[in-house]
Amino acid sequence: MDSGADTAGEALDEMPQEKRRRFDAERDSSPSSPWAGLQADALGVVLRFLPCLADRARVRSVCRNWRAASRGRGVAPPLPVLVMPRFRFAGMTPGGVLTATARHAWMPSEVDADHADCVGSSDAWLVGARQAGGECFLVNAFSHVVLHLPRLGDSDHSHWACSLRKVALSGSPETGPKCIVAAFAFCRSKPELALWRPGMKAWRVWQHSLIAGHIDMAFYQGRLYMLWRFSPSLFVFEIAEDGHGVKFSRMKDCLLEKLLPTPLGSNHVLSCNMVEWRGRLLLIIRYYGGYQVRHRVLKVEVFAMDFSTKPISLTEIHSFGGDCIFVGSGGCKSFPAGQYRGVEGDLIYFVPDHYNPHDAFVYNMRDGKTRLIVEPLPRRICAPVQSLGFPVWLFPPE
């Protein structure tokens, strides 16, 4: 195991603006180093052998030139990190193993990390919530910019519990009104979907009997897709605009369950997720031995969904072309593992969520085998306390 990866959280312990000013002052007052003149292309080759976030942070701290070169075009992003409850970060080694220790990352005081849940992510942005009053926010884990979202639920009844379970973003919050936020929450014990984008004063809520207790969500080609986690039922929402912002305009059942092969048996249960990969929306299904042994995975299947046909069509796939897929309660995302030397591809990383509180394993698409995501398995990962939230994948941009 790479000891350097143990410091993944260390790279986030201090405000980057303060650290940058200190380093720049030191470098400007010292004789120039021949290493500062290293060509950006050469440094890019070196970075292909340094996929871990902590190692990238050390490279950027050398001098201004290295920092600029490490953020240049063509430089692949570092490996994802796992955000644990109370905003603690666990890094990954080049061998695709999570470190057994997690470090506390510096967060702005307004985030109040010890009393907030991390419920989702989108690239470098984390979604936080303080469940008691429906308060929620977006925070960039690296620039530490905080964007406050409207409170969930009826503001006149804020004492009623409103639990935010799932969030999906259509793009980066830095794009302003082009970014749409979809939220799945339980307000007054009722499940509901809500939409918001910058400039709106309140969420636009949609309540329907088909909004189940455990769902996955993903934006794809301008629409929002909602997938039942315990049954492969898929619904698509059309999104429209009016004078108050964005809203749900129509909901349609994709009849996905009729297209899938027969389950393994009547006693088996499913767990379903969605992820966009190379412009295609994938359906990932885990088969378990039953409700009492849900931690025992029997099989994993992956299908590419084609929405250009009526009805939609499914194509089973057995390779990601060297990429990896990361699945968690905060969302799913693909990662170009093949851009690095020594990093294995065609893997799916699963971490616990509300529906599978004990799942923490890696599935190999090539041979169908599984292994633990980290050894020894920390209790923080394998048996999280629901009141503290579940692990969320974070994807550093540089």
Name the range with the highest mean pLDDT among 72-76, 213-217, 220-224, 383-387: 220-224
Strands 215-220 and 204-206: unpaired
CB 239 within 8 A of CB 195: yes
pLDDT for the residue numbered 17: 53
Task: Compute the average pLDDT of residues 328-341.
Answer: 87
Is 316 found in the same domain as 199? Answer: no
Interval 159-195: pLDDT, tens: 456 788 899 999 999 998 899 999 999 887 889 999 9
Interval 233-292: pLDDT, tens: 999 999 999 999 999 999 999 999 888 876 556 677 888 999 999 999 999 999 887 665
Is 169 found in the same domain as 237? Answer: yes
Question: Is residue 133 situated within a structural domain?
Answer: yes
CATH code where residue 111 lies: 2.40.128
What angle in degrees, to the nearest 10, is found between the helix axes of 40-47 and 53-60? 160
- Number of domains present in the structure of the chain: 3
Is 248 found in the same domain as 166? Answer: yes
Task: Compute the average pLDDT of residues 59-85.
Answer: 80
Residue span of the structural domain in which 368 resides: 259-375
Which has more confidence, 93 or 214? 214
Is 325 found in the same domain as 190? Answer: no
pLDDT for the residue numbered 385: 47
Is 68 found in the same domain as 194? Answer: no
Residue 13 pLDDT > 60, yes or no? no
User: Global pTM?
Assistant: 0.86
Question: Is residue 394 situated within a structural domain?
Answer: no
Residue 374 pLDDT > 90, yes or no? no
Is 244 found in the same domain as 265? Answer: no
Residue 305 pLDDT > 60, yes or no? yes
Q: Where does the pLDDT of residue 114 fall: very low under 50, low under 70, confident under 90, or very high at 90 and above?
A: confident
DSSP 20: H
Interval 196-239: pLDDT, tens: 999 999 999 998 988 877 899 999 999 999 999 888 899 999 99
Question: Is residue 64 situated within a structural domain?
Answer: yes
pLDDT for the residue numbered 7: 46
Task: Compute the average pLDDT of residues 81-105.
Answer: 78
Amino acid at 254: C
CA distance 347 to 98: 14
Q: Where does the pLDDT of residue 33 fall: very low under 50, low under 70, confident under 90, or very high at 90 and above?
A: low
Residue 382 pLDDT > 80, yes or no? no
Structure tokens at 23: 């380093």
Amino acid at 39: Q
Burial grade of 286 (CB within 10 A; 0-12, 13-18, 19 or more):
buried
Interval 338-357: pLDDT, tens: 888 778 999 999 998 776 77
